[in-house]
Amino acid sequence: MDDPEFADKNVLGVLKYLKSLANSIKTKVAAAIGSPATGGDTGDQLAQKINDAKAVGATNLVAKGVSATATESLATLFGKISNIIKGSGNAQPADVLTGKTFTNDGGVPLTGSMPFRSAENVHMPSTEQTVWPGDRVFVKPPYGYFDGASWVTAPAPQLKPENILKAANILGVQGTAERAVPGRISITYNSGQRPGVPGESTFIELATIPAGVRLITLTKPDCSSLTFWGWGFIGLSLRDAGGNEIDIASNSVTVIIDSFVLDFWGRTASASGSSDGHAVFSRNIQPEFNNNVPMKLGYTIRSGNNDVSYFDAKCTITHM
């Protein structure tokens, strides 16, 4: 044998060389394959492990939506890796619920930022409200996700049965208020000098005002006399069914009233006249005063001792 690669020219030497070469090739192939292949594997074992690896690769490609079989070459299988779609879609973080992860065409994992409003507040306040008179109410919810089991609210503190006419139903609230009938009430009253009772607090009715009235007035031409005085407390007021009072004018000395206005649209009360003290007032009508029920116009006496009081009225009030 005359081959320079074979140092040993006899047959046994050549066989030893070929065996060493084969083992070296197996070791290099096993190293290239990696675990579980080893240099001690036979050729059949190495071939099987290569085929097993190809089968796993093909299965993984199919799981990612890429067509592949274990019979394809390694080069073909590796070439198909670039066909794997890492993500698809056009959603952005603002479109996805906060805390949830997703991918889009960019293929990069993203986290949603849309607020979960129903989890924050099952009665979430609206950001805006508007009304089409006689038609409907609109409320604008804040940006975010609502699960269908929560509500968006708009404050309406005056949406009460007593503020709605009896014949009307607004958003499920049935009205109980009577429609006011315009009218005039004449008052003629003189208490004379009335002795008080120590510790008393007495309300004396002068007139009943119908439910639903929105304006009560006394003008100078309609007022011949409206004078009162007391050594204790004495005051003219309007009282509702719940005991709430509008203090029209009060003092512990002489008060002469020539006009007053109780405006329930603007929720204000004012009176004019004169007094020995500070009896003429302009004030807001308290929110809890209910003018949708019959009201009583009268005066209150509070006596600490045997105080004497006097009340004289000859006037006509107008309501509407």
Q: Do the Cβ atoms of 310 and 191 come closer than 8 Å?
A: yes
pLDDT at 4: 60
- Rounded-to-integer distance, Cα 79 and Cα 102, Å: 27
Beta bridge partners of 275: 255
**CA gap 315, 238 in Å, rounded:** 16
What is the reported pLDDT for 285?
92
Helix (H) or strand (E) holding 85: none
Round the CA-based radius of gyration of the chain to a whole number and report it. 48
CB-based contact 276:254 (threshold 8 Å): yes
Whether 62 and 83 have beta carbons less than 8 Å apart is answered as no
Alpha-carbon distance of 319 to 266, in angstroms, equals 15
* CATH of region 183-319: 2.60.120.200
pTM for the structure as a whole? 0.49
Average pLDDT along the chain, 320 residues, taken 10 residues at a time: 57 62 68 71 75 82 82 81 78 93 88 92 90 88 91 89 86 83 93 89 95 94 94 92 92 88 93 74 87 94 86 96
**Residue with token string 């290099």:** 28
Q: What is the pLDDT of residue 280?
A: 57
Question: Residue 200 to residues 106, 205, 270: CA-CA distances in angstroms?
Answer: 84, 16, 27
Where are the chain's structural domains? 11-83, 183-319
Cα(first)–Cα(last) distance of the chain, in Å?
135
Whether the Cβ atoms of residue 308 and residue 194 lie closer than 8 Å to each other: yes
- Residue 297 has a pLDDT of 98
Cβ atoms 231, 307 nearer than 8 A: yes
Amino acid at 101: T
Rounded to an integer, what distance in angstroms lies between the CA atom of residue 286 and that of residue 265?
12
Output the pLDDT for position 10.
66
- Read off the DSSP letter of residue 221: G
Q: Retrieve residue 40's tokens.
A: 């001690």
Residue 270 in tokens: 């004012």
